[in-house]
A and B are shown apart, each in its own frame.
Chain A
Amino acid sequence: MRAIRPAVRTSSAALAFGVLLTSGCSLIGSESDTASEPSSSGGASSSAGGTVVLVTHDSFSLPKKLIRSFESDTGYTLEQRALGDAGALTSQLVLNADNPVGDVAFGVDNTFGSRAVDAGVFTPYEGDRPDGVDAYDLPGDDDGDLTPIDNGDVCVNVDTSWFDKQGLTPPETFDDLIDPQYEDLFVTEGATTSSPGFAFLLATIAAKGEDGWQDYWKKLLANGTKVDKGWEDAYYVDFTGGGKGDRPIVTSYDSSPAFTTDGNGGTTTAALLDTCFEQIEYAGVLSGAKNPEGAQAVVDWLLSPAVQKALPTSMYVFPVVDDTPLPKDWASFAKRPTDPWTIDPASVDEHRDQWLQEWTDLVSQ
Chain B
Amino acid sequence: MTAKRLAGLGALATLPLAVLCVFFVLPVSGMIERGFVADGHLDIGGVLEVFTRSRTHQVLWFTVWSATAATMISVGLGVPVAYVLYRLDFPGRRLVRAALLVPFVLPTVVVGVAFRELLVPSGLLGGLGLDGSKWAIVAGLVFFNASVVIRSVGASWESLDTRPAQAAAALGATPAQVFRTVTLPSLRPAIVSAASVVFLFCATAFGIVLILGGLKYSSVESEIYFQTTVLLDLRAAAALSILQLLAVLVLLVLAGRLRRVPDPTVSRTTAGPRRPRLADAPWLGATALLLGAVALPIGTLVAGSLQVQQADGAQVWGLENYRALSGEGSNAALAVPVTQALSNSLRIAVDATWMSLLLGGLLALVVTRRSRSRAERRVRSVLDGFFMLPLGVSAVTLGFGFLITLDHGVLDLRDSRVLIPLAQALVALPLVVRTLVPVLAGIDDRLRQAAASLGAGPVRAVLTVDLPVVWRPLLAAAGFAFAVSLGEFGATSFLARPDRPTLPVVIYRLLGHPGRPNYGMALAGSVVLALTVALVMLVVERLRVRSLGVI
Interface residues of A, Cβ cutoff 8 Å to B: 1, 3-4, 6-8, 10-12, 14, 17-18, 21-22, 25-28, 30-31, 53, 56, 58-64, 67, 79-85, 87-88, 90-92, 94-96, 99, 101, 115, 190, 192-193, 226-233, 235-238, 242-246, 252-253, 255-256, 259-260, 262-264, 268, 312-314, 316, 327, 352-353, 356, 363-364
Contact = CB atoms under 8 A, between A and B. Distances in A.
A14 B543 contact: yes
A314 B215 contact: no
B214 A327 contact: no
Given A83-B494, A259-B515, A233 B112 contact: yes
Given A82-B498, A87-B229, A101-B403, A6 B120 contact: no
Interface stretch (B88-96, B143-151, B184-192, B464-472): B464-472
Contacts of B508: 58
B413 to A, nearest CB: 12
21 contacts: A3-B550, A17-B543, A28-B418, A58-B496, A60-B498, A61-B509, A64-B335, A67-B499, A81-B496, A190-B210, A229-B112, A230-B109, A231-B512, A233-B113, A233-B211, A255-B514, A260-B514, A313-B332, A353-B233, A356-B231, A364-B215
A352 B547 contact: no
Contact of A84 (B464, B494, B551): B494
Interface stretch (B41-49, B156-164, B306-314, B438-446): B306-314
Contacts of A87: 229-230
Contacts of A56: 498
Contacts of B414: 101
B214 A7 contact: no
A233 B348 CA distance: 29
Contacts of A91: 228-229, 232, 400
Given A7-B548, A53-B415, A244-B123, 9 more contacts: A4-B549, A8-B468, A17-B543, A63-B332, A79-B415, A92-B494, A246-B120, A259-B514, A327-B331
B515 A232 contact: no
Contacts of B312: 262-264
Interface in B496-551: 496-499, 505, 508-509, 511-516, 519, 543-551
B311 to A, nearest CB: 4
B546 A3 contact: no
Interface size class of B (residues with CB under 8 A): 35 or more
Contacts of B323: none
Contacts of A8: 463-464, 467-468
B468 A11 contact: yes
Contacts of A264: 312
Nearest to B494: A84
A226 B131 CA distance: 11
B81 to A, nearest CB: 27
Contacts of A84: 229, 399, 493-494
A259 to B, nearest CB: 4
Nearest to B34: A95
Contacts of B396: 88
Contacts of B399: 84
A276 to B, nearest CB: 16
Contact of B514 (A237, A256, A364): A256
B216 A364 contact: yes
B324 to A, nearest CB: 15
Interface string B399-432: 1100110011000001101100100000000000
Given A28-B421, A82-B498, A253-B514, A95 B230 contact: no
Nearest to A62: B335
A105 to B, nearest CB: 13
- Chain A residues touching B, majority SS: mixed
Nearest to A231: B512
A86 B404 CA distance: 18
A192 B226 contact: yes
A94 B210 CA distance: 26
B512 A61 contact: no
Q: 9 closest A-B pairs (Cβ-Cβ)?
A: A3-B549, A27-B347, A263-B311, A259-B515, A263-B312, A313-B331, A259-B514, A229-B210, A88-B229
Contact of B211 (A101, A230, A253, A352): A230
A190 B463 CA distance: 55
A131 B414 CA distance: 37
Contact of B334 (A61, A67, A245, A312): A61
A26 B347 contact: yes
Contact of B549 (A7, A18, A26): A7
Given A7-B546, A252-B514, A85 B229 contact: yes
Contact of B347 (A3, A18, A30, A60): A30
B457 interface: no
Nearest to A310: B332
A10 B546 contact: yes
Contact of B335 (A63, A238, A244, A352): A63
A232 B335 contact: no
A25 B346 contact: yes
B215 A236 contact: no
A22 B332 contact: no
A229 B350 contact: no
Contacts of A95: 34, 232, 400, 403-404
Contacts of A245: 120, 122
A229 B214 CA distance: 6
B497 A82 contact: yes
Contacts of B471: 11
Interface in B207-232: 207, 210-211, 214-216, 222, 226, 228-232
A347 to B, nearest CB: 16
B113 A58 contact: no
A37 to B, nearest CB: 10
Given A193-B215, A232-B512, A237-B113, A99 B333 contact: no
A316 B231 CA distance: 26
Contacts of A61: 333-335, 498, 509
Contacts of B214: 226-229
Contact of B313 (A238, A263, A327): A263
Contact of A27 (B121, B417, B548): B417
Max chain B CB contacts within 10 Å: which of A94, A190, A316?
A316
Contacts of A25: 346-347, 350
B235 interface: no
A76 B13 CA distance: 44
B551 to A, nearest CB: 8
Nearest to B465: A4
Contacts of B283: none
Contacts of B331: 312-314, 327
B351 interface: yes
Interface in B53-104: none
Max chain A CB contacts within 10 Å: which of B229, B417, B543, B547?
B229
Contacts of B347: 25-27, 30
A25 B519 CA distance: 30
Contact of B333 (A6, A192, A313): A313
Interface string B111-133: 01100110011110000000000
Nearest to A86: B229
Interface in B451-474: 454, 463-464, 467-468, 471
Contacts of B34: 95
B363 to A, nearest CB: 18
B550 A88 contact: no
B434 to A, nearest CB: 21
A353 B226 CA distance: 11
A168 B550 CA distance: 78
A237 B117 contact: yes
B354 interface: yes
Contacts of A352: 230-231
B468 A7 contact: yes
Contacts of A192: 215, 226, 230
B498 A58 contact: yes
Contacts of A101: 403, 407, 414
Nearest to A264: B312
